[in-house]
């Protein structure tokens, strides 16, 4: 059998991104063997500060990022600045337009929406910031109760830790559920396989409270 080239996942870093939004999914993809390669893009090559303080090192500047196979846009308080950055949104819209899959974690979906990349798609976001995310994309069909939402080439997850479950679901989608289960076991994560499992929607007033 011929060797399958790994799909390259490019994560978009920016100041005040949410640390687990990046590190959680990338841990899953990295644990899937040689099926994925990981690239980190930032405003410039070098350290990019997370909302929690520690920096993550970008491999390449936005302007030099090669065309991606899979895009990952995290959330974090820095997304509130990005949605007003016309230059950034223009770059993201053009660069990610032809990607095989575009994904987001948490309020990263608000950034995708602001760039027009979710127009005509179903999507979700962090439940505590759901109203803000929804305000970035009036042409998006926002799903208030979902752990993650898959709609064709767009995968969006709820808040922070939900990105891990979405990443495992994407691994299952591309390479089979057995591999995703193996990865979850390897990292000792209890994988929520049901994308509609979302107790946090009710906790934040976005769904009826179950008796």
Average pLDDT, the chain: 96
Classify residue 205: in a domain, yes or no. Answer: no
| Residues with catalytic function | 106
Range of the domain at 165: 7-198
**29-54 pLDDT, tens digit each:** 999 999 999 999 999 999 999 999 99
Please give the Cα distance from 137 to 45 (Å, whole number): 30
Q: Is residue 207 part of a domain?
A: no
190 in helix, strand or coil?
coil
Q: How many domains does the chain have?
A: 1
Contact 204, 146 (CB under 8 A): no
1 in any annotated domain:
no
For residue 57, give the 3-state DSSP assignment: strand
2 occurs within a structural domain: no
Residue 27, Ramachandran bin (φ over 0: left; ψ between -120 and 50: alpha; else beta): alpha
- pLDDT tens, residue by residue, 177-190: 999 999 999 999 99
Please give the pLDDT value at position 17. 98
* pLDDT over 90 percentage in the chain: 95
Is residue 204 assigned to a domain?
A: no
CATH number of the structural domain spanning residue 30:
3.40.50.880
For the chain, counts of helices (H) and of strands (E): 8, 11
pTM of the predicted protein model: 0.96
Mean per-residue pLDDT for 16-41? 97
């Amino acid at each position: 059998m011929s060797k399958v080239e790994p799909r390259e996942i490019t994560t978009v870093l920016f100041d005040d991104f949410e640390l687990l939004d990046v590190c959680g999914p990338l841990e899953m993809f990295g644990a899937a063997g040689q099926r994925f390669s990981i690239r980190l893009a930032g405003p410039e090559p070098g350290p990019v500060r997370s909302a929690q303080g520690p920096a993550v090192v970008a491999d390449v500047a936005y302007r030099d990022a090669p065309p991606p196979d899979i895009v990952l846009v995290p959330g974090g308080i820095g997304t509130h600045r990005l949605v007003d950055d016309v230059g950034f949104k223009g770059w993201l819209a053009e660069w990610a337009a032809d990607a095989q899959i575009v994904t987001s974690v948490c309020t990263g979906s608000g950034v995708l929406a602001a760039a027009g990349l979710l127009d005509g798609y179903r999507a979700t976001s962090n439940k505590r910031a759901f109203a803000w995310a929804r305000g970035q994309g009036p042409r998006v069909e926002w799903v208030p109760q979902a752990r993650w939402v898959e709609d064709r080439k767009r995968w969006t997850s709820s808040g922070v830790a939900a990105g891990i479950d979405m990443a495992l679901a994407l691994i299952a989608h591309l390479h089979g559920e057995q591999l995703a289960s193996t990865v979850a076991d390897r990292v000792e994560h209890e994988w929520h396989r049901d994308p509609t499992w979302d107790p946090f929607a009710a906790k934040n007033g976005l769904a009826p409270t179950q008796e």
